Amino acid sequence: ELKVEQNPLFLSMQEGKNYTIYCNYSTTSDRLYWYRQDPGKSLESLFVLLSNGAVKQEGRLMASLDTKARLSTLHITAAVHDLSATYFCAVGRTGANSKLTFGKGITLSVRP
């Protein structure tokens, strides 16, 4: 059974500082997704990582994937209030099945 773990589950961040959050998964997969969710809203796709060593950046967020360690990191540079949200990683199983297995999510709160 594929399991996806995120930690920490809650992170209080100070504006201007850098942080890293983690996503571990238990079995081989060929794609990993990061989503953002604002309170009461749907999921917004941030990144899709497809191969070992993949790195993608958008603004203050940078995601990377290490398939050998079954680990993805989301690095936040100089946190700002607008980044306050819940971030989910999800792992897709190998093959055409569209099923995603989600982690429980990490809630980020940026304080002044």
Partner 1 sequence: EAQVTQNPRYLITVTGKKLTVTCSQNMNHEYMSWYRQDPGLGLRQIYYSMNVEVTDKGDVPEGYKVSRKEKRNFPLILESPSPNQTSLYFCASTESGPPTYEQYFGPGTRLTVT
Residue 104 found at the interface with partner 1 (CB under 8 A):
yes
Residue count, binding to partner 1 (CB under 8 A): 24
Residue 61 CA to residue 53 CA, distance in Å, equals 16
Shorter beta-carbon distance to partner 1: residue 77 or 109 = 109
Tell me which residues in 12-41 interact with partner 1 (CB under 8 A). Answer: 30-31, 33, 41
90 counts as binding partner 1 under rule CB under 8 A = yes
Kindly state the smallest distance separating residue 65's Cβ from partner 1, in Å: 13
Strands annotated E in 10-78: 10-14, 19-25, 31-37, 43-49, 55-58, 61-66, 71-76
- 45 binds partner 1 per the rule CB under 8 A: yes
